[in-house]
Structure 1
Amino acid sequence: MQDNKILIVDDESFNLDLLEFSLVELTDIETIRAENGYEALQIVGERSIDLIILDISMPQMDGLQVLTHLKADEELKYIPVIVVTAQNEERYKALEIGAEDFLSKPIDVIELRLKVNNLLKLKKYNDLQRFFNERLEEEIAKKERQLTRFAKMQQELSLAREIQQSLLPKEFPHYPDLEVFGKCEQASEVGGDYFDIFETECGNYTVIVMADVSGHGFASALIAMQFRTLVHTELMNSSHSLSESVERINNIFSNDNRDSSMFITALFLRFDHRRRVMESVNAGHYDPIGHPTMKHISGIPLGIQAGMPYHALETSFGPESSILLYTDGIIEGENADGEMFGDRIYKIFEASNHLDAKSQVTAITQAFNEFIDEEQIDDVTLLILKGKGSEA
């Protein structure tokens, strides 16, 4: 892991030694010294700095002048600054300019360490948020440039359909202990249905995601694309628990889409091939059909509120296990008499459960299409998981 770089600025060598010694117990820290304001500005212009501890009382260029320069720069203004002073008036002035925190002289070492840790965490979070905001802005700008070439609404829907299709797996993985197959039938108005299957970096887990972005058309497809990138970033590494990863996904997505009314319902599953255990988290989605113990404490949909908790469920998933993941398009599909497909999906799943995953998806889709007997108004997305092999 790369060390956090802390720039300490003071014209007194004794104070620099004291600050450096006080921070030595913190992990993943590299301290860089500057003995005056000019040297400090030169360092931040040449190196990537994560935090600055800045003394106010210095000759030539004092700390307030350094702080003013930092906060006026579009790149440097994001570096958190702790000012050190014994004067209340200087403290108030520094906070007014934009300092994130302050320390009073003489410095309390415990207070110093706590404030450094808190601001380093805040810096990492803000950097991550800026990264995803920039990525989203780039993607939006790219798609908007494409959109200007289309003269008709049908062309926009066609692009949304292409985006949605590009998010879906091109082929399904083959495992000795797990069979997977899914299908997404797009409606005339493209929705935001999305599913994905991928292995974690260590190769011990397979991640399965079923999601439904609110709304229809180009905006939903774009949000689904952002969501897929975020899911892969967070879940490709299996070092965090599934519930922690989902909470991080929700926090980032909620903050990035603060000005939007869009949200995502999602079901996250992570299959442990070594233990044959399925870990799952439900974020406002439908529980799977087929496994009686897979009943979740459902969290709220993603993107509504940051900081919400999500709870994981562990379920044994052996050779006889079989579950169906789906979106609302299939159960809310209506026939000519206004009847919804609804609970019929349970009976059809049970009746076709002797089939392999691909044949079972085909059987359920065919039964649905025969029932509605007209053009569907929402995407119909199904994903079936079946245990294979023999018990370990």
Structure 2
Amino acid sequence: MIRIASSDLDLLKDFCLAAGDVTPVPVASAEIGQRLADADLFLLNDEEAMRVVETPSEARPTLITVAQEKADSPLSFKGGLVDDLLLLPLRKLDVERILRAHGQAQALRAMEETSKAVPALVEKLQQDIQMAQKIQRRLIREKFPAIGGLNIKSKYWCGLKAGGDYFDVFEFPDKEHVGIILSDSSSYGLSTNFIGSLMQFSVHVSQDDLSNPSQIVSALYGKLREEMKEKDRFNVFYGILSRKTYQLRYVECGSVFAALKNTEGKVTFAAKGENPPLTKENGTVPATVEIALEPGDRLLVASDGWAESIGQPSATLLENFLKAPFDAQDLMNEMAFHLRRGVVKHFELNDAEEEDFPMPPQDCSVLLFDLAKNVLRLAR
């Protein structure tokens, strides 16, 4: 409710009666300068208006000079020192005009205050994003050593959206199996819970579990589900590769992608992001799938951030990347080049002014595996 103040009690009464739903605030003329915070709109004579105009504008309420219709124009109004002029005798139409102008002025001031706060908010957001990026990068290993005849390259780009990717390549205690995992969580809390559960679970995997990644993911999901929220979405590729036969058993849930290129250049997809993600309501983990890696094959596993960042379907992008005649490091560089170009276009940035790599809309991750051509593989 708007508070209306004036030292003229009769005027205050008539104005509030015409205005309707407002609160009258009587003030003594000599105290107006000290009581500007007590009301939203002040009705002043010219002398009173000239006394209070020294108050900083951001701390001032709406100031209206009141004058008789046939009198000379008040100095405070002529000098632009007040917000409006109200002529007497009082008319309801003028009261409505004054109140409407007051509402518009208040809205404008609120917008000005908001705009002043925007730079600080943007800076705080950038600091939060940088902190999240540092934490996520600490959790994700930058390099993986070759495991037998399997050479590994990886890359992670932190995105703007909440949540995050996580990936890892690790040997199981039996030294005969390699774990491959890439996950995409819709919230930071879900990502943190998954990493914690994974670290606890990996050391307790039995020999029977090694043949059934679906069973492992189901167990992990059972722990995650207890803490998941309604909007949480969990996407994961979990594979177990035998170092003897190079058979890859895997399970994939949600928007994760995996494609295999053989020595003849043919690309086939092991995961195309077609299964639903795991949620608090949906607990269906697909059955384990098995494929064979041949000497000279290349396997690429990626999250779904590429599609939004570059503006093409993830499957198409990954197939084109795999078909390119690059060695592993050059392929990583090629993917980085296309990602940067896509992000610049997505956010309409000036590429020449972007010294650092611009952050994509969401996390983008990739794991690249090259199986040596001379690797020895036992019969399956």
What's the TM-score once normalised by structure 2's chain length? 0.55
Query: Retained in 1: the 8 A contact 2:183–2:234?
Result: yes
Q: Please name the residue that 1:390 is paired with.
A: 375
Q: Please name the residue that 1:361 is paired with.
A: 332
Would you say 1:206 and 2:178 are equivalent positions?
yes
Query: Retained in 2: the 8 A contact 1:330–1:368?
Result: yes
Query: Retained in 1: the 8 A contact 2:171–2:179?
Result: yes
**C-alpha distance in 2 between matches for 1:320 and 1:329:** 28
**C-alpha distance in 2 between matches for 1:279 and 1:249:** 17
- Alignment partner for residue 233 of structure 1, among 200, 223, 226? 200
Q: 1:281 to 1:341 in 2, by over 3 A?
A: closer
Query: Retained in 2: the 8 A contact 1:297–1:311?
Result: no
- Alignment partner for residue 323 of structure 1, among 299, 304, 312? 299
1:162 maps to a residue whose letter is K
Task: Render the CA deviation track for 1:252-281: whole Å, top value 9, x for unaligned.
Answer: 111222x44212111111111011111110
Larger radius of gyration: 2
Q: 1:305 to 1:321 in 2, by over 3 A?
A: farther
**C-alpha distance in 2 between matches for 1:369 and 1:152:** 24
Q: CA deviation at 1:303?
A: 3.5
**C-alpha distance in 2 between matches for 1:166 and 1:324:** 23
Q: Please name the residue that 1:308 is paired with.
A: 284
Q: Please name the residue that 2:231 is paired with.
A: 261
1:383 maps to a residue whose letter is L
Q: Please name the residue that 1:12 is paired with.
A: none
Q: Please name the residue that 2:216 is paired with.
A: 245
Percentage identity across paired residues of the two chains:
18
**C-alpha distance in 2 between matches for 1:179 and 1:379:** 24
Task: Render the CA deviation track for 1:52-87: whole Å, top value 9, x for unaligned.
Answer: xxxxxxxxxxxxxxxxxxxxxxxxxxxxxxxxxxxx
Q: CA deviation at 1:152?
A: 3.4
Query: Retained in 1: the 8 A contact 2:198–2:220?
Result: yes
Report SS of the residue matched to 1:333. Answer: helix
Q: 1:377 to 1:287 in 2, by over 3 A?
A: closer
Q: 1:330 to 1:299 in 2, by over 3 A?
A: closer
What's the TM-score once normalised by structure 1's chain length? 0.53
Query: Retained in 1: the 8 A contact 2:156–2:366?
Result: yes
Report SS of the residue matched to 1:271. Answer: strand
**Mapping for residues 279-294 of structure 1, pairs under 5 Å:** 279-291=249-261, 292=268, 294=270
Query: Retained in 2: the 8 A contact 1:194–1:211?
Result: yes
2:226 maps to a residue whose letter is N
**C-alpha distance in 2 between matches for 1:307 and 1:191:** 20
2:375 maps to a residue whose letter is S
Q: CA deviation at 1:245?
A: 0.7
Q: CA deviation at 1:350?
A: 0.7
The answer for unaligned runs of 5 or more in structure 2 is: 1-122, 262-267, 350-357
Q: Please name the residue that 2:240 is paired with.
A: 270
Q: CA deviation at 1:285?
A: 2.7
**C-alpha distance in 2 between matches for 1:307 and 1:330:** 26
Task: Render the CA deviation track for 1:179-210: whole Å, top value 9, x for unaligned.
Answer: 11111112345641111111112221111111
Q: CA deviation at 1:316?
A: 0.8
Report SS of the residue matched to 2:284. Answer: coil
Query: Retained in 2: the 8 A contact 1:255–1:306?
Result: no
Q: Please name the residue that 2:157 is paired with.
A: 185
Query: Retained in 1: the 8 A contact 2:246–2:293?
Result: yes
**Mapping for residues 62-211 of structure 1, pairs under 5 Å:** 152-189=124-161, 191-211=163-183
1:332 maps to a residue whose letter is E
The answer for unaligned runs of 5 or more in structure 1 is: 1-150, 215-219
Report SS of the residue matched to 1:228. Answer: helix
Query: Retained in 2: the 8 A contact 1:206–1:270?
Result: yes
Query: Retained in 2: the 8 A contact 1:345–1:364?
Result: no
**C-alpha distance in 2 between matches for 1:280 and 1:253:** 19
Task: Render the CA deviation track for 1:318-368: whole Å, top value 9, x for unaligned.
Answer: 22221211122112224xxxx54752442232113x413x33222222123
2:370 maps to a residue whose letter is K
Q: Name which of structure 1's ranges 265-274 and 290-299 shifts more when overlaid on structure 2.
A: 290-299
Q: CA RMSD in A?
A: 2.6
1:283 maps to a residue whose letter is C
Q: 1:293 to 1:372 in 2, by over 3 A?
A: closer
1:208 maps to a residue whose letter is I
Task: Render the CA deviation track for 1:128-157: whole Å, top value 9, x for unaligned.
Answer: xxxxxxxxxxxxxxxxxxxxxxx9333332
1:333 maps to a residue whose letter is S
**C-alpha distance in 1 between matches for 2:192 and 2:164:** 10
**C-alpha distance in 1 between matches for 2:273 and 2:140:** 27
Q: Please name the residue that 1:349 is paired with.
A: 322
